[in-house]
Amino acid sequence: MAQIFVNRNDLVIEDVDHPVKIIASYANDAIVTVDMHGAAATVLSVADTVVNRNSLNARQPFPTLTATWRNDYKPVINAEAQRRIYDVFADYKQRNYTAAVQGYITQYGADATVWPQPAKDVKTEGDRGWTYVTAVRTAANAWTAMPGGDPTADSIWPTVISPIK
């Protein structure tokens, strides 16, 4: 697996004569941000087997994605779902909210309506995050093929929420 950056427009105009050019590539465990190569680019997580390095020549100075890269859609979709989730509800915050709510259940009981207001506020904020996580995972799991065009486009994913505090 690799994290690759491509121009968003290449994903929209892709055809036999216009393969998706890879403008940068990073190891899967490298920490990258979606805007690392500017707003016109996006990051995809793809199998190494869909990177066509044989496409390099004077006319085509970048490696490209193979014509069949969209067939292996799950890594791309799952990585995009994870990126979207972590952008607003980082994994450490997920653990912290879960631990806090479990502590409140132990301390105050399972009925959150009787909890002190600060505990209710923590639960409400955590629930907002978990609702978003569920929406993103549901969207990712619903696809049975790669979405057409740009699989990282906001328009095909649940509306992004403000980051969980």
Shared domain for 5 and 76, answered yes or no, is no
Average pLDDT over residues 37-53: 93
Q: How many domains does the chain have?
A: 2
Identity of residue 25: S
pLDDT band at 57 (very low <50, low <70, confident <90, very high): low
The reported pLDDT for the residue numbered 58 is: 59
The reported pLDDT for the residue numbered 16 is: 87
- Is the pLDDT at 50 greater than 80, yes or no? yes
Shared domain for 87 and 158, answered yes or no, is yes
Out of 67, 84, 119, a domain closes at 67
Shared domain for 94 and 62, answered yes or no, is no
Shared domain for 77 and 46, answered yes or no, is no
The reported pLDDT for the residue numbered 61 is: 74
* Residue 90 structural domain: 72-165
Out of 16, 44, 67, a domain closes at 67
pLDDT band at 151 (very low <50, low <70, confident <90, very high): very high
